[in-house]
Amino acid sequence: MVIHKDLKRRLGGKYAVLNKITGKVDKVFPTATTVASSQAIPSEAELNSAIVNKPKPVVDKKAKTHVRTYPGLKADLLKVYQNFDIENLGPTYDALVDITKLYRRRFTKYTGQVTLKTVQQSTAKDYILGHTDKNLSEIVANNKDMVAKNIGNAAMCRQVMQLIDIMSRYTLDELCFKCNLARLQLSTTNAHKRLLKTCPDCGAVFVNNKLTNITITGLPANKLQVKMYLRKTGVVSMAAATESIDTTMPKRKIRLFMEWGSSFIWVYNEDNELIKNGLPDELYPDSGLVVKVNVLNRQYSELFTNNGYEFRYNGFKTHEDENAFERDFNAIYEEIAERTRGKYRVINEYYFTSNTEDVRDL
């Protein structure tokens, strides 16, 4: 007790004098702390717990490093994922944008200024959501599992921004002119001044269908830009652009692409699983359409040599033959798309390669 009084007299007003025996704290100041006790001096962690009670960072045991996880961000993000509805993406988009605003300082640390500002100024009504070939339900489920495992602030911020981008970036039915592996996406420059086509796989950027040296991925094109593009290219009519473009895309889809030994029509269910190679059940009884499809399949098979000794792609004899084949292919595509409107998303993937090694293996 004598030692305690002496320390109190000499250090009063400069330190918080804590008596570990009685538990009494004299003149608590947040700047420093000293201890008077017959016991050993407590560790820094114990002092923080007794006086400041700061939350400890989450420890990643595998990496042997500290991963900072803000409990509010984690809880709010898990709540958004739990309420995710693939049939109604608007609330999820707006909730993710609200998170970037609520935790602005953290997102500023891990996100580009222009991208973050654009996102925070947007709402679900500004974009055509969900027009993507990615499985959003699977992405959200994986994200939820990762957040539950305490992945840290940086990873959570990146996760939110990536999901916002995937939901809002409009995917076209056009294959990349450069890599022929992924479908192009409609993107835009800052302030939505110029429309771009970008490839998520090879990173190619096209302006007016011409490959550029630009390396940026750009921002997602907004609803107005997408509508104007679709009207200009004739994908939808002026009336249809305002009537149907905002509706939720059908979850089932039909892909049209040539593959030797198979029909060029591939039908997928709501879970993106291939369920049939050929016309969907809704169209199969149509003998006229069946004949058209069979003729095109036979013509394609005749472009190859397959005699048991070699398998080779020979190609068309003339450009006129190739153009005629493409016209017939597109005519079938348009008929199927029109007759399955609202039931399937029909994707035209017509293209040819110069040799058999490049024939697409899907």
Beta strand pairing status for 253-256 and 345-348?
Answer: parallel
Average pLDDT over residues 152-179: 90
d(CA 140, CA 359): 33
Neighbour-count burial for 66-79, b at 16+ CB within 10 Å, e otherwise: ebebbeebbebbee
Go through 81-119 and write b for each residue having 16 or more CB atoms within 10 A of its CB, e for each that does not.
beebeeeebeebbebbbebbeebeebbeeebeeebbebb
pLDDT value at residue 91: 94
β-pairing verdict for 33-36 and 16-19: parallel
Kindly state the average pLDDT of the residues 181-190. Answer: 86
Q: What is the pLDDT of residues 201-245, one digit of tens each?
A: 888 888 888 888 766 678 899 888 888 888 777 654 433 443 344
Q: What pairs with residue 220 in β-bridges? A: 187
Higher pLDDT, 91 or 48: 91
Give the Cα separation of 226 and 190 in Å (integer): 16
The full 3-state SS of 39-78, as one line of letters, equals: CCCCCHHHHHHHHHCCCCCEEECCCCEEECCCHHHHHHHH
Per DSSP bridges, beta strands 210-211 and 219-220 are unpaired
Residues ≥6 apart with Cβ < 8 Å to 323 = none
Helix pair 153-168, 71-82: axis angle to 10 deg: 30
Say what the pLDDT of residue 127 is.
92
Tokens of 254: 């039909």
Instruction: Look at residue 270 and tell me whether its pLDDT is greater than 50.
Output: yes
198: left (phi over 0), alpha (psi -120 to 50) or beta: beta
**H-helix or E-strand containing 327?**
helix 319-339
Contact status, residue 209 vs residue 200, Cβ threshold 8 Å? no
What pTM was estimated for this model as a whole? 0.50
Element (H, E) at 155: helix 153-168
DSSP letters spanning 192-225:
G-SEEEE-TTT--EEETTEE-S-----EEP-HHH
Output 28 or 187, whichever has higher pLDDT.
187
Q: Longest Cα pair distance anywhere in the chain, in angstroms?
A: 107
pLDDT tens digits for range 137-157: 999 999 999 999 888 888 899
What is the Rg, in whole angstroms, of the alpha carbon atoms belonging to the chain? 31
Look at 31-40, 188-197, 335-344 and tell me which has the smallest mean pLDDT: 31-40
CA distance 42 to 318: 88
Confidence band for 107, pLDDT divided at 50, 70 and 90: very high
Confidence band of 57 (pLDDT split at 50, 70, 90): very low
Position 92 scores a pLDDT of 95
Given a cut of 60, whether residue 48 has pLDDT beyond it is no
